Amino acid sequence: MGVGCSWWTQILARELFEIASDFCAVRRLKARNNRGQLNAPSMSNELPRTFKIITVWLLLGVVVFLGLQWWMRQQQQTRFQLQGSGVGAGSHAVVEITRGPDGHYHWPGSINGRELEFLVDTGATGTAISAQLARELNLPSLGQVQSNTAGGVVSGRVVSVNLALQGGVTAQQLRVVALEGLNDRRTEQPLLGMDVLGKLRWQQRDGVLRIELGGPQQ
């Protein structure tokens, strides 16, 4: 990231220098024209300068985009902290997750190898994923179900997944509900419910969710 930003910064500085030089040249030409020595600059002389301005704005957009991506990665790493190692009886590993800007806790993990972030939902009985994600992973239906959500009663289907969370928490062949209602979420994040959290020791205080990874694993 540092090398990339340095390279873009050098290009941006060079373009800005060229634009400043062109601007000074145009001012000199206009001054001479006022004295009757030269005609005004032609439109063809103005076009390259316009293209340079467009290029600089594009480069600025790229720099801002790369900076935003770096900032988001740093924020994600800051929100999730793993202390110690090991999972199960006798383990002293602890996960600490800081509440995100959206007011929720996000736990990085994967479903059947697909990396994603889980939205920790301590009020949910079971874990739920979007129906779109279930279709993308080709998860066979194990039955139909109706669930109560904030938006009302929605229909879904039961599927089986292999779930993994950063820190070593896993749940093999875990039955979760695939809901169409979750497709409306911008990130379509799975909801991590008490069917997983209930097997762990956790507490939340001052915007930090602390999970002790000493519980039994499925």
How confident is residue 61, by pLDDT bands cut at 50, 70 and 90? confident
Q: What is the pLDDT of residue 140?
A: 93
Retrieve residue 77's tokens: 């790493």
Amino acid identity, residue 85? S
- For 68-126, how does the pLDDT look when each residue is reduced to its tens digit (9 = 90+)? 666 556 555 557 888 766 555 556 788 899 988 888 899 999 999 999 999 999 888 89
How confident is residue 50, by pLDDT bands cut at 50, 70 and 90? confident
Q: What is the pLDDT of residue 180?
A: 82
